[in-house]
């Protein structure tokens, strides 16, 4: 879907710059021959695409780097500027930032799907090949960030000269730092009136130990000093090491997307050897073999070339049918080689947040299915399992890498599907330790992971529950410390660290159960800090926890669909919340309805819906009963779809209102 959108986008650019619309596959607009484009290129003394000969670039003249930044700190603008300065794209050729291809990305100003571009930069008379490996802007996609970074030797750490160091900056920094990457600190937006470069430099010193004179000060928007960024990339980031053109072909697969005409397009960083069209390659993890149909570099759209060699980054098309075959982090190698060393240790992405999605109307199930299929083709990190709820009907349970991932995916889903989707309250995976030989044998393992509260085993066979934890980083002006501490404690947070970022801002770190930040934590944080606090988190394993199943009962009968699992300390609070929501949405019945929340037979919350005393319109109808008949027929239709529990008729809407996020 987004691929076709980018094609549309490309065509739009084409038609603006050139009179004739050309085949999308060749992307002629990337091979500029017209004068204006040319002038612009010459001005920056860079090479147009048509002249690129990759064999001219030995590893020493290659730099692979990423830009990492907090949302809105200008990452995409800087990327665009780098592309323009090196003549990769025309200056101001379009308004939208080139690398943010997804509509959602453009709307939210964040990058979700990593995009890569190859730039040619002439430094002191010598051409360098710079591979910009674009990373997602949020650590929610830490898995994506990590896999992008695996193909890099260095990063540009971009900090807004006005907003300063933010929670995501910290998380991103440590991610790069832990991978031993060269880090080029860059302060952006120094042209802004409110910019405070000195204070931000102090923050960067305090938090990351950067010396003020090492920090580049630029404005990506105006282009000020951006050339120094390109220079620093060449000077400070080492060329790819451990590369050997003489060895047989070996490469890291670090990204992929799906093209409806050509199948999977995989992005690779070549480590050893050379690869050409027609070569046969194997994938280490999947064990499958492929023939290379097409390869080339990304500028940022595909430019087909004859070969890629050690140290270079590019794309290959090789008849992979689905993105699940293109395992990110997998190693591709020359077919027939034995005992190939993996480039990076392969790790399957593991979903940490789960939510059910259902169509508003069951008749729309096929449409929702097809929308899901389309989207997951491009995002193999989303897990999909069929789910059936007695209340909501047929649907799916999706697993996401994190909260933002979920939000972005759902937004994309609604756009793709063109209608509102019911998304249930997110849940997290629990680890459950069983006792009893027989039970362990039945479940296959002593410790099992359960992604859906509905599938919890009988509490009697559970020895211990474990819940996923995260390390959360909050950076805030210190005046909000008090309320933020209360919020964190309310969410079962345990403070791990606290330090001053500068005179007025603090960085606090808490260990949180993921479940506690899964729903509205970020909104609560933003609202109590007037939007000034920033938050990010990284996964931090499982911890033993006191988890209980919260049953919801209507007139004494358990409603399985509404039951959920919560931490024992939260049972009363959540119980009360659900009871209140139900009280608001359950239509009055002929009798009183008692709504109860109970844990192990003990009622923790209760609300009542009073009995219906009168339900009749004492209206004068005369002979005109057609409208009344219509209304009754509609009610009759609605009744057919109601679910009856303990004689209580519950419209689907009641379930939606309680289960929905």
Partner 1 sequence: MKIFPTYLSQCDHSLFNIFKSEATVYFHWPFCKNICTFCNFNKYKRSENKLGQHFENKMENSLLRETQTIFGLTGVNKIKSIYFGGGTPSLAPPTTISRLIQCVKQLANTDEKIEITIECNPSSLNMTQKLEEYFKFGVNRVSVGLQSLDDKKLKILGRDHSANDGLMLLKQATEIFGSDSVSVDLLFRKPGDTIKSWENELIQMLEHKPHHVSLYELTPEKGTRLFRELKSGELTIPNENDTASMYLLAVKLLKESSLERYEISNFAKAGSRAQSLHNMSYWHGTQYLGIGPGAHSRIFPLDADLRESRIQTLDPQSWQDLVERDGHATRLCKQQNRLEVLSELLVTSLRTTKGTQPNRWNLFQPQYSMKDVFGAAEPLKFFYLNGYLRWGMNGSFQATDRGLNVVDAILPTVLNVLGEYHTRNKFSP
Phi, psi of 575 (to 5 degrees): -55, -45
What is the smallest separation between the CB atom of 595 and partner 1, expressed in angstroms?
Answer: 19
Contact set for partner 1, span 409-468 (CB under 8 A): none
What is the smallest separation between the CB atom of 638 and partner 1, expressed in angstroms?
Answer: 8
Q: Tell me which of 500, 504, 635, 653 binds partner 1, using CB under 8 A.
A: 635
Say which DSSP state 301 is in.
Answer: S
Q: Tell me which of 638, 643, 657, 661 binds partner 1, using CB under 8 A.
A: 638
Q: Tell me which of 16, 350, 435, 639 binds partner 1, using CB under 8 A.
A: 639
Does a cis peptide bond (omega within 30 degrees of 0) precede residue 300? yes
Contact set for partner 1, span 228-267 (CB under 8 A): none
Please tell me whether residue 636 binds partner 1 under the rule CB under 8 A: yes
Q: Tell me which of 197, 329, 622, 660 binds partner 1, using CB under 8 A.
A: 622
Q: Which stretch binds partner 1 (CB under 8 A): 39-47, 252-260, 425-433, 626-634?
A: 626-634
What is the smallest separation between the CB atom of 652 and partner 1, expressed in angstroms?
Answer: 16
The answer to whether the beta carbons of residues 362 and 391 sit under 8 Å apart is: no
Q: Tell me which of 629, 645, 651, 652 binds partner 1, using CB under 8 A.
A: 629
- Tell me the pairing of strands 126-133 and 62-69: parallel
Closer to partner 1 at the Cβ: 439 or 583? Answer: 583
What is the smallest separation between the CB atom of 590 and partner 1, expressed in angstroms?
Answer: 6
Q: Which stretch binds partner 1 (CB under 8 A): 65-73, 171-179, 192-200, 630-638?
A: 630-638
CA separation for the pair 162, 178 (Å, rounded): 27
What is the smallest separation between the CB atom of 586 and partner 1, expressed in angstroms?
Answer: 14
Closer to partner 1 at the Cβ: 347 or 633? Answer: 633
What is the smallest separation between the CB atom of 592 and partner 1, expressed in angstroms?
Answer: 13
How much is the CA Rg of the chain, to the nearest whole Å?
28
Closer to partner 1 at the Cβ: 494 or 612? Answer: 612
What is the smallest separation between the CB atom of 651 and partner 1, expressed in angstroms?
Answer: 12
What is the smallest separation between the CB atom of 391 and partner 1, expressed in angstroms?
Answer: 20
Closer to partner 1 at the Cβ: 55 or 635? Answer: 635
Q: Tell me which of 126, 390, 489, 632 binds partner 1, using CB under 8 A.
A: 632
Please tell me whether residue 625 binds partner 1 under the rule CB under 8 A: yes
Closer to partner 1 at the Cβ: 476 or 589? Answer: 589
Q: How many CA atoms lie within 13 A of 195 on its CB side?
A: 16
Please tell me whether residue 641 binds partner 1 under the rule CB under 8 A: no
CA separation for the pair 114, 256 (Å, rounded): 9
Closer to partner 1 at the Cβ: 287 or 556? Answer: 556
What is the smallest separation between the CB atom of 6 and partner 1, expressed in angstroms?
Answer: 47
Closer to partner 1 at the Cβ: 276 or 641? Answer: 641
Closer to partner 1 at the Cβ: 38 or 628? Answer: 628
Please tell me whether residue 223 binds partner 1 under the rule CB under 8 A: no
What is the smallest separation between the CB atom of 609 and partner 1, expressed in angstroms?
Answer: 12
Give 216's strand partners: 186
Total number of residues binding partner 1 (CB under 8 A)? 27
Query: Other C-beta atoms within 10 Å of 153: how many?
Result: 21
CA separation for the pair 447, 65 (Å, rounded): 40
Would you mind telling me the total number of residues written for the chain in this entry?
A: 661
What is the smallest separation between the CB atom of 589 and partner 1, expressed in angstroms?
Answer: 8
Contact set for partner 1, span 381-400 (CB under 8 A): none
Give the per-residue SS3 of 219-246: ECCCCECHHHHHHHHHHHCCCCCCCECC
What is the smallest separation between the CB atom of 634 and partner 1, expressed in angstroms?
Answer: 9
What is the smallest separation between the CB atom of 632 and partner 1, expressed in angstroms?
Answer: 5
Query: Other C-beta atoms within 10 Å of 223: how many?
Result: 15
CA separation for the pair 168, 535 (Å, rounded): 7
Closer to partner 1 at the Cβ: 125 or 622? Answer: 622
Please tell me whether residue 21 binds partner 1 under the rule CB under 8 A: no
Please tell me whether residue 624 binds partner 1 under the rule CB under 8 A: yes
With the CA atoms of 70, 405, 454 and 560 taken in that order, what torsion angle do they form, in degrees rounded to the nearest 10?
90
Q: Which stretch binds partner 1 (CB under 8 A): 45-53, 186-194, 369-377, 625-633?
A: 625-633
Closer to partner 1 at the Cβ: 363 or 617? Answer: 617
Closer to partner 1 at the Cβ: 441 or 633? Answer: 633
CA separation for the pair 104, 200 (Å, rounded): 30
Write the DSSP string, 496-561.
EEEEESSSSEEEEEEEEEHHHHSSSHHHHHHHHTTT--EEEEEEEEEEEE-EEEEEEEETTEE-GG
The answer to whether the beta carbons of residues 410 and 660 sit under 8 Å apart is: no
Give the per-residue SS3 of 397-434: EEEECCHHHHHHHHHHHHHHHCCCEEEECCECCEEEEE
Q: Report which secondary-structure segment, H or E, holds 315.
A: strand 313-317
CA separation for the pair 93, 171 (Å, rounded): 34
Contact set for partner 1, span 562-621 (CB under 8 A): 590-591, 612-621
Please tell me whether residue 556 binds partner 1 under the rule CB under 8 A: no
The answer to whether the beta carbons of residues 148 and 254 sit under 8 Å apart is: yes
Closer to partner 1 at the Cβ: 246 or 616? Answer: 616
Q: Which stretch binds partner 1 (CB under 8 A): 119-127, 342-350, 499-507, 627-635?
A: 627-635
What is the smallest separation between the CB atom of 612 and partner 1, expressed in angstroms?
Answer: 5
CA separation for the pair 578, 566 (Å, rounded): 12
Question: Which of these, 42, 115, 52, lies nearest to 85 by C-alpha position?
Answer: 42
Closer to partner 1 at the Cβ: 194 or 626? Answer: 626
What is the smallest separation between the CB atom of 407 and partner 1, expressed in angstroms?
Answer: 35
Per-residue string for binding with partner 1, 345-384, x by CB under 8 A?
Answer: ----------------------------------------
Query: Other C-beta atoms within 10 Å of 486: how many?
Result: 11
Please tell me whether residue 623 binds partner 1 under the rule CB under 8 A: yes
What is the smallest separation between the CB atom of 413 and partner 1, expressed in angstroms?
Answer: 35
The answer to whether the beta carbons of residues 323 and 257 sit under 8 Å apart is: yes
CA separation for the pair 151, 323 (Å, rounded): 19
Please tell me whether residue 640 binds partner 1 under the rule CB under 8 A: yes
- Tell me the pairing of strands 494-500 and 557-558: unpaired
3 state DSSP class of 612: coil
With the CA atoms of 191, 196, 199 and 204 taken in that order, what torsion angle do they form, in degrees rounded to the nearest 10?
-40
Closer to partner 1 at the Cβ: 223 or 638? Answer: 638
Query: Other C-beta atoms within 10 Å of 566: how many?
Result: 21
The answer to whether the beta carbons of residues 247 and 340 sit under 8 Å apart is: no
The Cα-based distances of 146 to 131, 175, 241, 325, 613 in angstroms read: 16, 7, 18, 19, 62
What is the smallest separation between the CB atom of 627 and partner 1, expressed in angstroms?
Answer: 10
Q: Which residues bind partner 1 (CB under 8 A)?
A: 590-591, 612-626, 628-629, 632-633, 635-636, 638-640, 647
């Amino acid at each position: 879907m987004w691929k076709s959108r980018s094609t549309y986008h490309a065509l739009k650019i084409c038609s603006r710059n050139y009179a004739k619309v050309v085949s999308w596959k060749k992307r002629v607009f990337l091979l500029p021959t017209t004068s204006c484009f040319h002038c612009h290129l010459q001005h920056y003394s860079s090479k147009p695409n048509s002249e690129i000969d990759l064999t001219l670039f030995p590893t020493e003249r290659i730099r692979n780097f990423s830009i990492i930044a907090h949302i809105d700190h200008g990452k995409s603008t800087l990327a665009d500027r780098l592309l323009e300065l090196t003549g990769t794209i025309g200056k101001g050729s379009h308004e939208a930032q080139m690398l943010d291809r997804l509509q959602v990305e453009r709307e939210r100003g964040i990058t979700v799907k990593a995009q890569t571009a190859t730039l040619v930069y002439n430094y002191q008379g010598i051409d360098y090949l710079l591979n910009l490996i674009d990373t997602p802007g949020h650590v929610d996609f830490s898995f994506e960030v990590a896999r992008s970074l695996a193909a890099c030797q260095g990063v540009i750490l971009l900090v807004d000269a006005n907003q300063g160091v933010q929670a995501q900056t910290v998380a991103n920094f440590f991610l790069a730092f832990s991978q031993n990457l060269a880090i080029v600190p860059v302060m952006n937006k120094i042209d802004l009136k409110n910019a405070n470069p000195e204070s931000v430099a102090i923050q960067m010193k305090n938090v990351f130990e950067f010396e003020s004179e090492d920090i580049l000060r630029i404005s990506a928007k105006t282009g000020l000093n951006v050339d120094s960024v390109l220079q620093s990339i060449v000077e400070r980031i080492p060329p790819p090491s451990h590369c050997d053109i003489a060895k047989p072909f070996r490469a890291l697969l670090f990204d992929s997307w799906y093209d409806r005409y050509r199948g999977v397009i995989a992005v690779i960083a070549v480590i050893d050897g050379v690869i050409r069209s027609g070569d046969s390659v194997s994938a280490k993890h999947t064990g499958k073999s492929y023939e290379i149909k097409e390869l080339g570099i990304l500028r940022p759209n595909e430019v087909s070339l004859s070969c890629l060699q050690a140290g270079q980054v590019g794309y290959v098309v090789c008849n992979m049918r689905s993105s699940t075959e293109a395992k990110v982090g997998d190693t591709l190698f020359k077919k027939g080689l034995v005992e190939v060393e993996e480039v990076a240790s392969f790790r399957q992405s593991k979903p940490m947040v789960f939510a059910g999605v259902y169509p508003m109307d069951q008749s729309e199930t096929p449409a929702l299915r097809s929308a899901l299929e389309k989207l997951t083709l491009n995002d193999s990190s989303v897990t999909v399992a069929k789910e059936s709820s007695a209340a909501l009907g047929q649907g799916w349970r999706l697993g996401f890498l994190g909260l933002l991932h979920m939000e972005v995916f759902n937004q994309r889903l609604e756009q793709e599907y063109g209608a509102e989707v019911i998304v249930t309250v997110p849940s997290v995976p629990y680890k459950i330790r069983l006792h009893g030989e027989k039970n362990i044998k039945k479940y296959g393992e002593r410790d099992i992971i359960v992604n859906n509260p509905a599938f919890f085993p009988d509490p009697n066979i559970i020895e211990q529950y474990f819940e996923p934890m995260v390390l959360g980083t909050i950076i805030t002006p210190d005046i909000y410390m008090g309320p933020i501490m209360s919020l964190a404690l309310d969410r079962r947070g345990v403070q791990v660290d606290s330090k001053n970022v500068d005179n007025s801002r603090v960085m606090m770190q808490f260990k949180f159960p993921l479940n506690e930040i899964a729903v509205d934590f970020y909104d609560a944080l933003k609202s109590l800090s007037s939007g000034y606090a920033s938050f990010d988190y990284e996964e931090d394993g499982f911890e033993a926890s006191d988890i209980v199943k919260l049953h919801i009962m209507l007139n004494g009968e358990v409603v399985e669909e509404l039951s959920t699992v919560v931490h024992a300390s939260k049972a009363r609070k959540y119980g009360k919340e659900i009871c209140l929501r139900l009280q608001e949405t359950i239509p009055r019945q002929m009798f009183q309805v008692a709504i109860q929340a109970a844990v192990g037979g003990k009622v923790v919350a209760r609300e009542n819906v009073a009995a219906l005393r009168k339900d009749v319109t004492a209206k004068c109808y005369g002979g005109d009963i057609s409208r009344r008949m219509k209304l009754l027929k509609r009610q009759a239709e609605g009744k057919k779809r109601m679910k009856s529990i303990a004689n209580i008729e519950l419209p689907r809407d009641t379930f939606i209102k309680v289960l929905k996020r």
